[in-house]
């Protein structure tokens, strides 16, 4: 425990990446092991690389907590879409439960207010009672119970629902679909995923105007922890999941209220890693289609 508990918050710097990565790995591993769940961060090296990425992105606001000149925690606000996403929030285990986490959360919420975001969202581990209580007290509402799934890639093709790599020509149609289902688009995330060669789209037959043609009915930036998917139907989403060559990171997140999709995933041999919760503060539009959230929202 640090003797002097005078807390200082400041903007994060690239030079903070190693120390923040160590704390993030230790914090996530400690809480997961305490509740006997696998950690979201399999190694300290992965945590370090994630922090290097976060501190280098101009569309991610960072805040670092220090006590007596020593870094004790960090938090991030992702500002790449109309909705802001929070995380990862981490506090050194030796100094938890003394309001450091609350102060870090208040800092990113103040930033969101200054930037005039209409909604701030996050995903928390459902077994972590203290974080659920903290976020609720700070104004977040539970919106979706989630299951974090992992397993062997399925290698499944659904007849009538071909999946292919997304191209930049697909951006407009995908953004329209996301806007229709969520009330906003996530075009910058999708653009980045296409650039990396990870994004996919699913097409389905459309008989509009009496002529049969295929149109985009869903897309995924990646089927994984940091990816999201938006589709018109469960069949579209099954096709995207079935075509994924890997479930990146710690797996992907399925809204468990979508019982038909959740059951299908389990029937394919995918396993539940942990329960999670999608929470929001501010405006929330109930989705009008099917979706997979990312670890942010």
What pLDDT, on a 0 to 100 scale, did the predictor assign at position 206?
67
pLDDT by residue, tens only, the chain of 297 residues: 444 568 999 999 999 999 999 999 999 999 999 899 988 888 999 999 999 999 999 999 999 999 999 999 999 999 999 999 999 999 999 887 779 999 999 999 999 999 999 999 999 999 999 999 999 999 999 999 999 999 999 999 999 999 999 999 999 999 999 999 999 999 999 999 999 999 999 999 765 555 556 899 999 999 999 999 999 999 999 999 999 999 998 999 999 999 999 999 999 999 999 999 999 999 999 999 999 999 999
What pLDDT, on a 0 to 100 scale, did the predictor assign at position 209?
55
- Map out the domains of the chain with their CATH numbers: 7-117 (3.40.630.30), 150-276+285-292 (3.40.630)
3-state secondary structure the chain: CCCCCCEEEEECCHHHHHHHHHHHHHHHHHHHHHCCCCCCCCCHHHHHHHHHHHHHCCCEEEEEEEECCEEEEEEEEECCCCCEEECCCEECHHHCCCCHHHHHHHHHHHHHHHCCCCEEEEEEECCCHHHHHHHHHCCCEEEEEEEEEECCCCCCCCCCCCEEECCHHHHHHHHHHHHHHHCCCCHHHHHHHHHHCCCEEEEEEECHHHCCEEEEEEEECCCECCCCEEECCHHHHHHHHHHCCCCECCCEEEECCCHHHHHHHHHCCCEEEEEEEEEEEECCCCCCCEEECCCCC
What pLDDT, on a 0 to 100 scale, did the predictor assign at position 208?
57
What pTM was estimated for this model as a whole? 0.92
What pLDDT, on a 0 to 100 scale, did the predictor assign at position 213?
66
């Amino acid at each position: 425990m640090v003797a002097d508990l005078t807390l200082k918050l400041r903007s994060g710097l690239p030079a903070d990446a190693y120390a923040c990565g160590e704390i993030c790995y230790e914090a996530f591993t400690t809480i997961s092991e305490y509740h006997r769940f696998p950690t979201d961060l399999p190694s300290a090296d992965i945590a370090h690389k994630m922090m290097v990425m976060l501190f280098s992105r101009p569309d991610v606001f960072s805040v670092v907590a220090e006590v007596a000149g020593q870094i004790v925690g960090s938090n991030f606000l992702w500002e790449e879409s109309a909705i802001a996403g929070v995380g990862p929030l981490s506090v050194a285990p030796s100094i938890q439960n003394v309001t450091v986490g609350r102060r870090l959360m208040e800092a990113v919420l103040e930033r969101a207010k200054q930037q005039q975001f209409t909604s701030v969202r996050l995903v928390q581990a459902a077994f972590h009672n203290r974080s659920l209580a903290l976020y609720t007290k700070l104004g977040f509402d539970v919106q979706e119970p989630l299951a974090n799934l992992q397993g062997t890639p399925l290698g499944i093709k659904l007849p009538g629902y071909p999946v292919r790599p997304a191209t930049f020509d697909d951006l407009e149609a995908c953004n329209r679909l996301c806007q229709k289902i969520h009330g906003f688009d996530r075009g910058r995330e999708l653009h980045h995923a296409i650039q990396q060669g990870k994004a996919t789209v699913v097409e389905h037959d459309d008989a509009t105007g009496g002529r049969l043609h295929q149109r985009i009915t869903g897309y995924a930036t990646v089927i994984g922890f940091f990816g999201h998917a938006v589709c018109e139907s469960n069949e579209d989403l099954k096709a995207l999941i079935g075509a994924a060559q890997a479930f990146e990171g710690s797996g992907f997140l399925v809204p468990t209220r979508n019982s038909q999709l959740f059951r299908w995933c389990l029937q394919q041999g995918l396993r539940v890693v942990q329960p999670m919760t999608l929470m929001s503060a501010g405006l929330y539009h109930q989705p009008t289609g099917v979706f997979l959230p990312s670890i942010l929202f």
